Structure 1
Amino acid sequence: MAEAILKIENLKKVYPDGTVGLKEINTTIHKGELIAIIGPSGAGKSTFLRSINRLNEPTSGAVYIGGENICEAKGKKLRMIRRKVGMIFQGYNLIKRSTTVQNVLHGRLGYMSSLKGGFGRFSEEDTKEALDILMRVGLEDQAFKKAGDLSGGQQQRVGIARAIAQNPDLLLADEPIASLDPSSSEKVMSYLKTIGKEDGITTIVNLHQVDFAKEFADRIIGVKAGEIVFDGTPRELTDYTTEQLYR
């Protein structure tokens, strides 16, 4: 069994209006796994994912990343843990007026002083690495184009490249293919799986598309009403189980 990269214990999220987003989630995720989180809208998938790196502040519980409880971390300690957690967003979150390679280089900001980062003084080594990553996601010929000029699928691959530039142990992808056509979705998921396997990165991805979860994930977690109701392999996710999850 591979080492546990992420351990979640009794993770709960209650919003200020009293809405319960998560009901004491417990799970362990191992190094190199690609996990797909599926479930109906409003089930708590994004709350779950964003609570892992505290983009959503958990109400209670513990999230151990590489043995460190991020829920208790503050200041420099929190920044150090987050540095090893890459994030990919549905809306890409790119700086559209900047070039593709500059966007990828932003993945290195956590390793730089605020002064150098603020002025964009990236090293020659970082720039070469960013160009190499763009080659890995099939965008080497787009490196010096403005990110806003790329297609949606290409922009999402820039988002992947930026996250990879962080040199993460854990990659969180929140509905990364929700707004993409099937062909672009296939490419994005293929790159996530390939790079994860090659670099030993653990990837957790929220998906609405059950067919993509079955095709690409090593393991599927089904979430409904803030609880894990299924946790198994794609083969174990039967049509009946899927129907029960979404009804």
Structure 2
Amino acid sequence: MTDIFLETRNLKKVYPDGTEALKNITLTFNKGELVSIIGPSGAGKSTFLRSINRLNQSSSGEVIFQNEQITNVKGKKLLLVRRQIGMIFQDFNLIKRSTTVRNVLHGRLGYMSSLKGAFGKFSEEDVKEALAILRRVGLEDHAFKRADELSGGQQQRVGIARAIAQKPALILADEPIASLDPSSSSNVMNYLKNISEEDGITTIVNLHQVDVAKRFASRIIGIKAGEVVFDGKPNELNEQRINEIYDQRGLVNELTS
């Protein structure tokens, strides 16, 4: 029996210039899945993720998260929804001058009052938990270094640790390895896979690298021009299927980027 806890129904996004970024996307996601979304640049992958956590407002359609329609929630309710959705960014989105552990602690801001958050008054329990999470991602020895002293791969692991500290039900990762070397990319994807398997957190990862998606994901979704053109297991993504997602020029660019 499946455990569907995230669903998009006919999700559509049209930008003010008339660009139709998403065309009625209907998908379901189960608890604990690691899903990779692939597709050429401009296909709508980032728009899709940002429509789930409402960084983008969809033009029409619905997002159902944990059996609740969240497409139009606002104010405090929206903050509560976002607290349950961790976000990992391509450019890390860290505060460079702050320590590694303080960046991780920012994952707890959604649980604090505005006053305590503004002054960074984190509890002793939160600090201990942040240090434990850094140990989990292999960065305990770097806890009190400034974020800008870390390598790109280490900074992305801080981003993962911050997302874990948030204690989310869902993690969205938008091109988390785009700027990393192959070794760092494998490390980051391994940590995301472990989180999905060990914590039961559904993780949706946008990727350019088809080979990485096939290696780490339990399911792959292909998006092209705002439409889903593939949804299946990694072993079902053969050359013919890949060519349905990418044209020949796009395929070469994506596989070699």
- In structure 2, the residue matched to 1:150 is 150
Query: Are the aligned partners of 2:229 and 2:244 in contact in 1 as well (CA < 8 Å)?
Result: no
| Structure 2 Cα separation of the partners of residues 177 and 115 of structure 1 | 35
| Partner SS for 1:72 | coil
* Pairing 1:1-247 to 2, within 5 Å after superposition: 1-247=1-247
Unaligned runs of 5+ in 1: none
In the TM superposition, residue 112 of structure 1 has moved relative to its aligned partner by: 0.4
| Partner SS for 2:82 | helix
| Partner SS for 1:71 | coil
Q: Give the aligned residue type for 1:176.
A: P
In the TM superposition, residue 240 of structure 1 has moved relative to its aligned partner by: 1.1
Query: Are the aligned partners of 1:173 and 1:203 in contact in 2 as well (CA < 8 Å)?
Result: yes
Aligned structure 1 segments of 4 or more residues deviating by more than 4 angstroms = none
| Structure 2 Cα separation of the partners of residues 121 and 69 of structure 1 | 33
Query: Are the aligned partners of 1:5 and 1:202 in contact in 2 as well (CA < 8 Å)?
Result: no
| Partner SS for 2:71 | helix
Identity %: 72
Q: Give the aligned residue type for 1:220.
A: I
| Partner SS for 2:178 | coil
| Structure 2 Cα separation of the partners of residues 70 and 180 of structure 1 | 33
Query: Are the aligned partners of 1:129 and 1:165 in contact in 2 as well (CA < 8 Å)?
Result: yes
Unaligned runs of 5+ in 2: 248-257
In the TM superposition, residue 223 of structure 1 has moved relative to its aligned partner by: 0.1
- 27-36 or 234-243: bigger deviation: 234-243
| Partner SS for 1:49 | helix
| Structure 1 Cα separation of the partners of residues 246 and 144 of structure 2 | 43
| Structure 1 Cα separation of the partners of residues 130 and 195 of structure 2 | 14
In the TM superposition, residue 245 of structure 1 has moved relative to its aligned partner by: 1.1
| Structure 2 Cα separation of the partners of residues 106 and 138 of structure 1 | 19
Query: Are the aligned partners of 1:108 and 1:166 in contact in 2 as well (CA < 8 Å)?
Result: yes
| Structure 1 Cα separation of the partners of residues 40 and 143 of structure 2 | 37
| Structure 2 Cα separation of the partners of residues 119 and 147 of structure 1 | 19
Aligned CA RMSD, in angstroms, stands at: 0.6
